Amino acid sequence: MNKPLSITLENCAKTFTDGTRALEPLNLSIREGETIVFLGPSGCGKTTTLRIIAGLEEPDAGGKVLFDGEDVTTLPIEKRNVGMVFQSYALFPNMSVAENIGYGLKIRRESQAALRTRVSEMLGMMRIEALADRRIDQLSGGQRQRVALARALAVRPRALLLDEPLTALDAKLRDTLRLEIDTLLRRLNITAIYVTHDQSEAMALGDRIVVMEHGRVAQIGSPRDIYQKPATRFVADFIGTMNRLNGAVRNGVFTCRAGDMPWATAPADASEILFRPEDIQVTESAEGSTLRGTVAAAFYLGDRTRLFVEVGEKQPLVVESAARRDFSHGETVGLAIDPRGVLIL
């Protein structure tokens, strides 16, 4: 196996010929062997960044792409030796599964024997031996995805680039394949860049996540950092569910329309607090609570109930309760917030 690659982007911006500014100047270094995930809403420039790394787009003048410190900015994709998995798979309809997987080796003029060995190795790795002679249009979505991965990996690329590889699949299959990809990437110890707009995918796969917004990086960090310490409101809202309450702090008590919340370490100037659904609980009884709201909607999910609690703010609070009881619409409930989970941005 090749030594894993480190990738550095210096000052990479992208303006398309029609004037669309897809990417603001971006600096990023990706360490060897790490899995980095680009996460962000549609149109934020994830694919564009990936394509710049792949060599399918050139950055605007002044931008530089370095592979292991070597400038590859003007090197076309076919000379970069990166594996790429496309959202639409881009499997060649004129070739069988085995021919697709062996194509990169054929281009590299590998011997027939070496080619055959490697192809069956890849078929085995993705557990699709039985499909070797199938035509592409005889494959299911999940099978196509496996072939696309096998094809990209067959040439032992220096890095693997994946652009929303699971978006076209149904939820169940997505979970299975996500696990497989995760195992694979860790086993191969390959530098991987994974584009997605699905935050749970990003959290599960990424060593680090790059959250993007309008062509800019909003935050780079480990999944835990991104979730627990979002750097901006955008990140806080985009990742997971965030509750917010407006109010003021006086004498260690945060007061808002829903009532009072004792908070010893409260900063004096906090006027809006943010917290996750798992940091707020429904108390045993409404009477004993200083913080109260009325149930606007309750969805029984089996293991818990997801409540939308009206507290006089713009958005109702999202609260998850494991209590074995029914909640009825309009019912008043008491609430308790764990101050350790409170964020101020």
Partner 1 sequence: MRRETQRLILLLLPAGIFFTGFFLIPMADLFMIGGSGKTGWAAYAAILTDRNYFNSLISTLAVAAATTVATLIISGISGVFLQRHKFPGNAALVAMLTFPLAFPGVVIGFMVIMLAGRQGLIGQITQAVTGEKVVFAYSMAGLFMGYVYFSVPRTILTVMAAAEKLDPKLEEAARSLGASPLRVVRDVIIPGLKPAFISAGAICFATAVGAFGTAFTLATRINVLPMVIYTEFTLSANIAMAAALSFVLGAVTWIVLALARTAAGSTVAAAG
Partner 2 sequence: MKNRWLFTLQLGFTLIVCAFLIVPVILSILAGLTVNYLVGLESGLTLRWVFEVWDGYRDTIFLSIGLSLACLAVTLVIGIPTAYVLAKRQTALGRVIEEMLVMPVAVPGLATALALIVTYGSLSGFRTSWAFILVGHVLFTLPFMVRSVLAVLSAIDLKTLEEGAASLGAGFIDRFRHIVLPNCRAGILAGSLMVVTLSMGEFNMTWLLHTPFTKTLPVGLADAYASLRLEIGSAYTLVFFLMIVPLLLALQAFAQPRLKKFVAEDDAT
Ligand X SMILES: Nc1ncnc2c1ncn2[C@@H]1O[C@H](COP(=O)(O)OP(=O)(O)OP(=O)(O)O)[C@@H](O)[C@H]1O
Binding to ligand X by residue 46, rule CB under 6 A?
A: yes
Nearer to partner 2 by C-beta: 48 or 219? Answer: 48
Alpha carbons 189 and 183: distance in angstroms, whole number = 10
CB atoms within 10 A of CB 233: 15
Among 25-33, 39-47, 147-155, 304-312, the segment contacting ligand X (CB under 6 A): 39-47
Alpha carbons 335 and 290: distance in angstroms, whole number = 8
Shortest separation between residue 38's beta carbon and Mg ion, angstroms? 9
Site size toward partner 1 (CB under 8 A) is 3
Alpha carbons 165 and 150: distance in angstroms, whole number = 13
Shortest separation between residue 58's beta carbon and partner 1, angstroms? 6
Alpha carbons 129 and 150: distance in angstroms, whole number = 11
In the list 7, 13, 36, 45, the residue contacting ligand X (rule: CB under 6 A) is 45
Q: Quick one: what does residue 104 bind among Mg ion, partner 1, partner 2, none, with the CB cut-off 5 to 8 Å set by partner type?
A: partner 2
- Using CB under 6 A as the binding rule, the residues of this chain from 192 to 221 that contact ligand X are 197
The DSSP string of 2-21 is PPPP-EEEEEEEEE-TTS-E
39 closest CA partner among 206, 262, 260 = 206
Distances (CA, A) of 79 to 14, 203, 251: 21, 32, 65
Site string for Mg ion, 41-70 (x = CB under 5 A): ------x-----------------------
- Using CB under 8 A as the binding rule, the residues of this chain from 322 to 341 that contact partner 2 are none
Nearer to partner 1 by C-beta: 74 or 251? Answer: 74
Pairing of β 7-15 and β 21-30: antiparallel
Site string for partner 1, 47-86 (x = CB under 8 A): ----------xx-----------------x----------
Nearer to partner 2 by C-beta: 92 or 300? Answer: 92
Alpha carbons 242 and 97: distance in angstroms, whole number = 45
With beta carbons less than 8 A apart as the criterion, state whether 123 and 129 touch: yes
Tell me the one-letter amino acid at 100. Answer: N
Among 76-84, 167-175, 210-218, 219-227, the segment contacting partner 2 (CB under 8 A): 76-84
Pairing of β 159-163 and β 191-196: parallel
Q: Quick one: what does residue 58 bind among Mg ion, partner 1, partner 2, none, with the CB cut-off 5 to 8 Å set by partner type?
A: partner 1
Nearer to partner 2 by C-beta: 160 or 291? Answer: 160
CA atoms within 13 A on the CB side of 254: 25
Shortest separation between residue 234's beta carbon and ligand X, angstroms? 14
Alpha carbons 146 and 126: distance in angstroms, whole number = 6
3-state secondary structure of 22: strand
Shortest separation between residue 88's beta carbon and partner 1, angstroms? 21
Among 45-53, 112-120, 259-267, 337-345, the segment contacting ligand X (CB under 6 A): 45-53
Query: Would you give the DSSP letter of residue 69?
Result: T
Tell me the one-letter amino acid at 58. Answer: E
Backbone angles phi, psi at 277, to 5 degrees: -55, -30
Residues near ligand X, by CB under 6 A: 16, 18, 20, 22, 40, 42-48, 197
Binding residues for partner 1 (CB under 8 A): 57-58, 76
Binding site for partner 2 (CB under 8 A): 54, 56, 76-79, 81-84, 86, 88, 90-94, 103-104, 107-108, 135, 151-152, 155, 161
